[in-house]
Structure 1
Amino acid sequence: MAERLTAEERLTLKTGAFGAVFLVSNADPGVVAVFRESFAASGALTDASGVVKEALTTGPLPRLPRDSTLEIESVVLPALGRALEILREKSPADVAAYRDVVLAAADRVARAHRGVAPEEAAVIGRIRDALAEAT
């Protein structure tokens, strides 16, 4: 049975998931791409269920740095690992679901506008690594 997540824990899950989408979107920026990518990401994130869906759809949006990719990654990648730790502790059945939702959202964002650019593929690789290291 899943334990209820605190507001801080929900924000950590959100920071990882929304931050991953933000990283992929910024890897190959473009004005038209932003709209397509936002729509693609929201579709993937709303596919979540249970504790993951509750965490991603309630409460405030995370505040992410915007100065540099390295600064964003320094917040987002650790948040992904911490999110999996939280889920392993409080809702182990949702660990794979979170990982799958984040990777699906990142992939959908990358494919939303002219296919996956090499820069986007590299960012998705770093996201995948952050999610794998936490296992």
Structure 2
Amino acid sequence: MEQRLTDEERLTIKTGAFGAVFLVSNADPGVLGVIRESIAASGALADASGAIKEALTTGPLPRLPRDSQLEIESVVLPALRQAVLILREKSPPDVEAYRSVVLAAADRVARAHDGVAPAEAAAIDQIRVALAEPA
């Protein structure tokens, strides 16, 4: 049974998804790749549906740190873990869809400019771990 998401829950889901994209993009920064990466990510996130699409397309944009990769990780990875918990409780069918959308967006960002750099692959691994079911 699907329950309505609160504004705060939608923002957590959005922070995780948009933050994952930013985490990968920031892992191997480059001015030329930013536009390609943005387009790639938006295409993947646009594939979302149901509660996930609602969360990603309504409300304010998340505020993400921009100073260091470590700071970005400290916001994004917990948001991803929390988003999975929220969806498991309120919209269980959307848990796997959220994982798929976030990982697809992260992968598209990494591949958008000159292939996947080692730092981008490491960021995607962190995202995958954060999205995994807790033990």
TM-score, normalised on structure 1?
A: 0.97
Q: Which runs of 5+ in 1 are unaligned?
A: none
Taking the aligned partners of 1:50 and 1:134, their CA distance within structure 2 comes to: 24
Map residues 10-21 of structure 1 onto 2, 5 A cutoff.
10-21=10-21
Cα separation, partners in 2 of 1:97 and 1:7, compared to 1, 3 Å: same
Map residues 1-135 of structure 1 onto 2, 5 A cutoff.
1-134=1-134
Q: What RMSD in Å do the two structures reach over aligned CA positions? A: 1.0
> How many matched pairs?
135
Provide the identity percentage.
80
Which amino acid counterpart does residue 125 of structure 1 have in structure 2?
A: D
Q: Once the 2 structures are TM-superposed, how far is the Cα of residue 59 of structure 1 from its aligned partner?
A: 0.7
Cα separation, partners in 2 of 1:89 and 1:133, compared to 1, 3 Å: closer
Q: For residues 78-118 of structure 1, give each alpha carbon's deviation from its aligned partner in whole angstroms, at most 9, with x where no partner exists.
A: 00000000001100000000000000000000000011011
User: Counterpart of 1:106 in 2: which secondary structure?
Assistant: helix
Q: Once the 2 structures are TM-superposed, how far is the Cα of residue 25 of structure 1 from its aligned partner?
A: 0.3
TM-score, normalised on structure 2?
A: 0.97
